Structure formats: structure tokens, C-alpha cells
Copies of this chain bind each other. A is one copy, B any other.
């Protein structure tokens, strides 16, 4: 049985070995660059763990697992263009390093490469795996569109926010597990239970991300706190604060959202202060626990020996307890 770390290492090795054409250099060098600068390889590792859960041949899951990682990195690449982000994983983003046109096109070819790698799934499940993959991939685009729409909205409801993070983040984690289950020979019910496990975990994961951006330890997470606040991101924290705040607190928040000229530290301190007054951290932590609990319920329903599920429950606990 694979541990999460073993699965991550296996995937990492395989990513470095996939055959990516050399020419045109301008097109494929950025693809290699993006795949070389790391990331935790969580999603492909989940494909492996889910496959292994059914004692399926992990070998047959390796290429589809890499496909998911390639797809995930494609979304980051294009999101970075749309969000004008200049740094990713401590390195310059592709459009900064190679120019915007190259970034668009390299992303395009990565998306197609991902689909091509999915085609390495065994014939008997290819159709199902491919449908889960492409359906999910479209949903991720929908989530990114919603996220962009939020930038122009003054208020976003909690429900809209939850739909957005479900599409942008949670469905790909869920689909990774489902695809792993299908490749491992799990039943449809098993695959769906794992999907639900991943979906709720993905929600918890994103809320934890929102939380760390404001309340994390700067040393540990290795970047400035409060980026979301500075960027006026409609995170769960901000949405809850706008919902729970007194008229005065809400006015202060909307004033900060509207302000064009400000000192970064001052804005972060003031908004974080209001969050603290409203116990937003505690509210968010509580919500994370609800999703975590739901995810464990789906895992419990899964018809596999408990000792086989240990890695996945460890992973869930790691995700919501992480501090970076």
C-alpha cells in the first residue's frame, strides 16, 4: 500500500519522465518549466491512492494521474495571465518570463496534452474516465469565470462563493479520487463516495487557504499575509464579515474595498481587525470542520477495509491542519 508521500514521489518521477516534444522550443519550454517548478502533486497522488485503495494496478493509473497534474498546471498558467500574477511558487509566471502569447499557447497545448494522456487509460474504462475528466475540466473553467465575475461585484453571497470554490477547486480534487477509483476497479458507488469525500475535502481545503492568507504565520507560509485583503478578494472571510458586521463595521469594510490609495499594512491591519472583532477565524474554522466531517462520512461509507483507508483519512486530517 502506498503512503501519500510515496504516491507523491512516484508521480513526481513520472512527471519528469513524460515525453514532451522539444520543438518548437518556444512552445514546449514553458510547459517543461511549469512542470519542473513543483507543487505538491496532491491531485495525481490522490489518483494513485484511490486506485491503490482497490488494490488496482497503480501502473495503469500513472499516466492519467500525470494528466490531471498537467491539466491543473495549465489552469494555473492561464489563471496567472488573467489575474496578472507575476510570481507562482516563488518563480516568475510564464507570461512574465516568456510573454503573453506564448503563455496562452503553451497553456493550450498543455490542456490538449492532458487530454491526450487521459487517453492512456485502459480501454474498458476510457470512456468513463474521459467523461469525468472533461466534465470536471469544464467546471474548473466555470469556477474561474465566476471568480473573475466576483471582482466586478460589490457583494457576493455565501452561496455564490461556495459554488465558485466548488467548481474552481473542489471538483478537480474530487475527480482525481473518482478517476483513481475507476482505474483501480472500484464500483460506481465507491467511485461516487470517493468523489463526495474529495468534494467536501476540497471545500475545506479552499476555506483553509482563505484563512491562512489572513491568519497564517508569515514565516511558515513564506509570503506576505493579507494578499486577499489587498486584492479585494471576496473570500469566505470577507463575505462573512460583510454579513455579520454592524452597520459601522460594514461601512468600514466597504470603504476599504472602495479605496484606491492606501497603505498596504494599514488596510490589512484594519480589515483583519474587523475580522477579529467578528470572530471570522472561528466561524471559518467551524465551517472547515463541517466539510471535514462530511468528507469523513463519505469515506466511512466506502466499502473497503479500514486499514486501506488510513492514508486517505490521514491526508484529510493533514489538509485541514496544515499551516501552509
Stretch at the interface among A127-135, A239-247, A250-258: A127-135
Q: Are B138 and A116 touching (Cβ within 8 A)?
A: yes
Cβ of A142: which chain B residues have Cβ within 8 Å of it?
Answer: 21, 23-24, 27, 109
Given contacts A116-B135, A126-B127, contact A146 B24 (CB under 8 A): yes
Task: Provide the bound-state CA to CA distance between A125 and B180, in Å.
Answer: 23
Q: Does A148 contact B (CB under 8 A)?
A: yes
User: A157 within 8 Å of B by Cβ?
Assistant: no
A60 touches B (CB below 8 Å): no
Is A78's beta carbon under 8 Å from chain B? yes
Contact in complex: A134, B105 (CB < 8 Å):
no
**A111 and chain B: residue at smallest CB distance:** B111
A113 to chain B: closest residue by CB: B138
* Contact of B141 with A112 in the complex, beta carbons under 8 Å: yes
Contact call A148/B101, Cβ cutoff below 8 A: yes
- Per the 8 Å Cβ criterion, residues 275-313 of A in contact with B are none
Please report the C-alpha to C-alpha distance between residue A109 and residue B141 in the assembled complex, in whole angstroms. 6
A138 CB to closest chain B CB (Å) equals 5
Q: Is A200 an interface residue (CB 8 A)?
A: no
Asked if A127 and B137 sit within 8 Å, CB to CB, the answer is no
Q: List the B side residues contacting A50 at CB < 8 Å.
A: none
Instruction: A78 to B144: give the CA distance in the assembly, Å.
Output: 18
Chain B residues within 8 Å of A85, by CB: none
A145-B27 CB under 8 A given contacts A105-B78, A105-B82, A138-B109: yes
In this complex, what residue of B is CB-closest to A128? B119
Q: Are A144 and B105 within 8 A (Cβ)? A: yes
A86 at the interface (CB under 8 A from B): no
Task: Please tell me if the beta carbons of B138 and A112 are within 8 angstroms of each other in the complex.
Answer: yes
| Interface residues in A22-55 (C-beta closer than 8 Å to B) | 23-24, 26-27
Q: Known contacts A111-B108, A111-B111, A119-B127; is A141 also within 8 Å of B27 by CB?
A: yes
A81 interface residue per 8 A CB criterion: yes
A149 interface hit (Cβ, 8 Å): yes
A109 to B140, CA, bound (A): 9
A104 at the interface (CB under 8 A from B): yes
Measured between beta carbons, the chain B residues less than 8 angstroms from A138 are 21, 109, 112-113, 116
> A115 interface residue, CB < 8 Å from B?
yes
Q: Give the distance in Å from the alpha carbon of A252 to the alpha carbon of B21 in the complex.
A: 39
A119 touches B134 (CB 8 A): yes
Task: From A102, A123, A148, name the one whose CB has the most chain B CB atoms within 10 angstroms.
Answer: A148
CB neighbors of B among A147-198 (8 A): 148-149
- Known: A105-B141, A126-B126. Is A112-B113 also a contact (CB below 8 A)? no
- Cα(A108)–Cα(B148), bound, Å: 15
Please determine whether B134 and A115 come into contact, CB atoms closer than 8 angstroms: yes
By Cβ-Cβ distance, the 9 closest A-B pairs, closest first, are A116-B134, A27-B145, A109-B141, A82-B101, A115-B115, A24-B145, A112-B137, A119-B130, A112-B138
10 contacts between A and B (CB under 8 A): A21-B142, A23-B142, A24-B146, A27-B142, A108-B141, A109-B142, A112-B115, A116-B134, A123-B126, A130-B130
